[in-house]
Amino acid sequence: MDLTIIWGKFISILEKDSYILEIEKKVYSGFPFLYISTFIEQEKLDDILFLSAAKVMKGKRLQADILFVRKQDGVFVYRMRFYVPNEKLVCCGRGCRDCIRFRTT
């Protein structure tokens, strides 16, 4: 799975959102950071990011890790990554949706 395509779709969805004025993705030390200029509060922006990530990940075996870092001069900074989760090898007993007990071979 090519994550550059996923990132491209994700950024294009956010660029079309009327609440987001400008968005830029930068990579520092191997971690992608999003710099987002907007006039809305952080809670609303969090919702937009999670919903946009869900649209991109739908039907794919992906997860998103979104973490707010800081706000400076009207620019929100988030550390974000898309990743493919590791295969489970043992049952932890928590009833996970991808539990190895429910796997058919």
Q: How confident is the model over 31-82, as pLDDT tens digits?
A: 999 999 999 999 999 999 999 999 998 888 888 889 999 998 889 999 998 8
Instruction: For residue 16, give the H/E element and its range.
Output: helix 3-16
Contact criterion met (CB below 8 Å) for 21 and 37: yes
| DSSP string computed for 49-89 | HHHHHHHHHTTSS-EEEEEEEEEETTEEEEEEEEEPPPPP-
Closest residue by Cα to residue 81 from 61, 60, 66: 66
Q: What is the pTM of this model?
A: 0.76
Closest residue by Cα to residue 33 from 94, 3, 78: 78
What tens digit of pLDDT does each residue of 11-32 get? Answer: 999 999 999 999 999 999 889 9
SS3 at position 39: coil
